[in-house]
A and B are shown apart, each in its own frame.
Chain A
Amino acid sequence: MRTEAVDVAIVGGGPSGMAAAVAARRAGAEKVVLLERGEQLGGILNQCIHDGFGTKVFEQALTGPEYAQIYIDRMEETGVSYALNTMVLDLSPERELTVCSSQGLRQINAKAVVLCMGCRERTRGAIRIPGHRPAGVYTAGVVQYYMNLRNLAVGRRVVILGSGDVGLIMARRLTLEGAQVLCVAEILPYPSGLARNIVQCLDDFDIPLYLRTTVVEIHGRDRVTGVTLAQIGPHGGIVPGTKRLVECDTLLLSVGLIPENELSKKARVALSPVTGGPVVDDHLQTSVPGVFTAGNALQVHDLVDYACLEAERAGASAARYAMAGRLPAAEIAVRPGQGIRYVVPQLVSGTESVDFSMRVVSPDHDRYVIFRRDGHELRRMKENVLAPASMLRIRVRSDRFQRGAGELTVEVGA
Chain B
Amino acid sequence: MSQEYDVAVVGGGVVGCAIARELSRYQLKVVLLEKESDVGRGTSGKNSAVVHTGFNVPVGSVKARLNVAGARMYGELCAQLSVPFKRVGKLVVALTPDQVPELEKLKATGDRNGVSALEIIGGDAIRRMEPNISGYAALHAPTAAIICPFRMTIALAENAVANGATILLDAPVTAISGKAGAFRITSGQGTVRSKLVVNAAGLYADHVARLAGVRRYKIWPCRGEYLIIDKARSDLIHGMIYPVPPKGGSGLGVHLTPTIDGNILLGPSAEYVRSKSNDATTAAVARTLMQEAQQFLPALNPRDVITAYAGIRPKTVSSAVGGFGDFIIEEAPELPGMLHLVGIESPGLTAAPAIAQDVAQWVGLHQPLQANPAFHPERKLPAPFHELPTEQQASLVAQDPDYGQIVCRCETVTRSEVLRAIHNPLGVHTLGGVKYRSRVTMGRCQGGFCGPRVEEMMEEELGLPATTMTQRGPGSWLFAGTTKELRTACAPKL
Interface residues of A (CB under 8 A from B): 1, 37, 85, 87, 89-90, 98, 100-105, 120-121, 123-126, 128, 130-135, 139, 141-142, 145-147, 150-156, 177-180, 216-217, 221-223, 249, 262
Contact = CB atoms under 8 A, between A and B. Distances in A.
Interface stretch (B88-96, B251-259, B304-312, B331-339): B304-312
Contacts of B476: 134-135, 222-223
Interface string B406-423: 100110100000000000
Nearest to B416: A102
B365 interface: no
Contacts of A37: 406, 409
B398 A128 contact: no
Contacts of B305: 125, 128
Nearest to B452: A145
Contacts of B406: 37, 87, 89, 100
Contacts of A142: 447-448, 451-452
A123 B305 CA distance: 12
A125 B482 CA distance: 28
B383 interface: no
Nearest to A158: B480
21 contacts: A37-B409, A87-B406, A87-B409, A98-B390, A104-B404, A120-B444, A125-B306, A126-B306, A130-B281, A135-B472, A139-B448, A141-B448, A142-B452, A150-B466, A156-B480, A178-B487, A179-B486, A216-B283, A223-B475, A223-B477, A262-B409
B283 A222 contact: no
Nearest to A128: B305
Contacts of A151: 482-484
A174 to B, nearest CB: 9
B401 interface: yes
Given A146-B452, A152-B483, A178-B490, 17 more contacts: A1-B390, A100-B397, A100-B404, A120-B444, A121-B448, A131-B281, A135-B470, A139-B448, A151-B483, A155-B480, A178-B483, A179-B480, A216-B283, A217-B283, A222-B475, A223-B475, A262-B410
Interface in B430-470: 444-449, 451-452, 456, 466-467, 470
Given A102-B405, A131-B281, A178-B489, A125 B393 contact: no
B10 to A, nearest CB: 21
A153 B472 contact: no
Contacts of A262: 409-410, 444
B477 A135 contact: yes
Interface in B250-304: 277, 279-283, 286, 302
A159 to B, nearest CB: 15
Given A146-B452, A152-B467, A125 B446 contact: yes
B474 interface: yes
A403 to B, nearest CB: 39
Contacts of B477: 135, 223
B280 A130 contact: yes
Contacts, number: 147
Contacts of B405: 85, 101-102
A87 B410 CA distance: 12
A130 B282 contact: yes
Given A134-B476, A145-B452, A180 B483 contact: no
A249 B484 CA distance: 18
B479 interface: yes
A126 B277 CA distance: 25
B402 interface: yes
A98 B245 CA distance: 48
B471 interface: yes
Interface string B379-404: 00000000000110110011001101
A104 B477 CA distance: 37
B371 interface: no
Identify the 10 closest CB pairs spanning chains A and B, nearest first: A222-B475, A125-B307, A102-B401, A178-B486, A135-B471, A178-B487, A105-B394, A102-B404, A178-B490, A222-B476
A123 B405 CA distance: 25
B3 interface: no
Interface string B92-131: 0000000000000000000000000000000000000000
A31 B310 CA distance: 53
B368 interface: no
A236 to B, nearest CB: 11
A41 B306 CA distance: 31
A133 B489 contact: no
Contacts of B490: 178-180
Given A126-B306, A156-B486, A103 B481 contact: no
A126 B446 CA distance: 10
